[in-house]
Chain A
Amino acid sequence: AQSVTQPDIHITVSEGASLELRCNYSYGATPYLFWYVQSPGQGLQLLLKYFSGDTLVQGIKGFEAEFKRSQSSFNLRKPSVHWSDAAEYFCAVGAPGGGADGLTFGKGTHLIIQP
């Protein structure tokens, strides 16, 4: 069974600084990969997804993520964070071949933005 590890429970970044959130997955093949963001009291919003092709994917709100097969990682990045980026970020994987299977989520990283 696949699993997802988000090593950082909390990350604090100054407004305007760059951001990288880590995600490592465990799966026998290349999974489908997703990043979601959840603001307090809200559902999950899809930031970006990787199915195949270019390993650097662009998402909404200025986010990007890079798939690195050799490291089993799919880290999320943003060059300059805004106070509105403060939220919970979840990495998730889906199994290829299970086209509609449920996703497996990490435990999330709580992003705090310092003024």
Chain B
Amino acid sequence: EAGVVQSPRYKIIEKKQPVAFWCNPISGHNTLYWYLQNLGQGPELLIRYENEEAVDDSQLPKDRFSAERLKGVDSTLKIQPAELGDSAVYLCASSLAGREASWSAQYFGPGTRLLVL
């Protein structure tokens, strides 16, 4: 079974430029998460989708960050414009859990490492 797929794996951009990250979850996983991991820290949740609905985006900086999961499968996270402080690893995870389902472990992709110059 294929795991969570993310692309690109690495991205270097100049500040004020836009950038987008793509995630394809494990087949059949209805819940998708985007996490931000700063150097030396644990991941922090940015946004959670159940199918195509964003059910928790309270930690997403909405002035510059946006996300979508139009067909309830793969998802895109965008930053526009990027700032120096956005340099981090952006992790995508998926699970079978949902509001009507019991807890399920989250499975992570390899992440996209962003460097903003």
A residues touching B (Cβ–Cβ < 8 Å)? 4, 32, 34, 36, 41-46, 49, 51, 90, 92, 94, 96, 99-103, 105-108
Q: Could you tell me the distance between the alpha carbons of A45 and B107 in the complex, rounded to whole angstroms? A: 7
How many A-B pairs have beta carbons closer than 8 Å: the answer is 69
B residues touching A (Cβ–Cβ < 8 Å)? 4, 6, 31, 33, 35, 40-45, 48, 50, 55-56, 91, 93, 95, 97-111, 113
Q: Are B99 and A34 in contact (CB under 8 A)?
A: no
What are 13 residue pairs bridging A and B, where the CB atoms are less than 8 Å apart in the complex?
A42-B111, A90-B43, A99-B98, A99-B100, A99-B101, A100-B55, A100-B101, A101-B48, A101-B56, A102-B33, A102-B48, A105-B42, A107-B42
Q: Are A99 and B41 in contact (CB under 8 A)?
A: no
Nearest residue, chain A, Cβ from B31: A100
Interfacial chain A residues near B31, Cβ < 8 Å: 100
Q: Are A99 and B97 in contact (CB under 8 A)?
A: yes
Determine how close the nearest CB of chain B comes to the CB of A33; give it in whole angstroms. Answer: 11
Q: Could you tell me the distance between the alpha carbons of A77 and B41 in the complex, rounded to whole angstroms? A: 22
Q: Are A100 and B108 in contact (CB under 8 A)?
A: no
Residue of A46, A102, A107 touching B107 (CB-CB under 8 A): A46
> With A51-B103, A99-B98, A99-B102 known to touch, is A42 a contact of B45 (CB < 8 Å)?
no
Nearest residue, chain A, Cβ from B41: A107
Interfacial chain B residues near A106, Cβ < 8 Å: 42
Q: Are B105 and A42 in contact (CB under 8 A)?
A: no
Determine how close the nearest CB of chain B comes to the CB of A107; give it in whole angstroms. Answer: 5
Determine how close the nearest CB of chain A comes to the CB of B103; give it in whole angstroms. Answer: 5
Q: Are A100 and B42 in contact (CB under 8 A)?
A: no
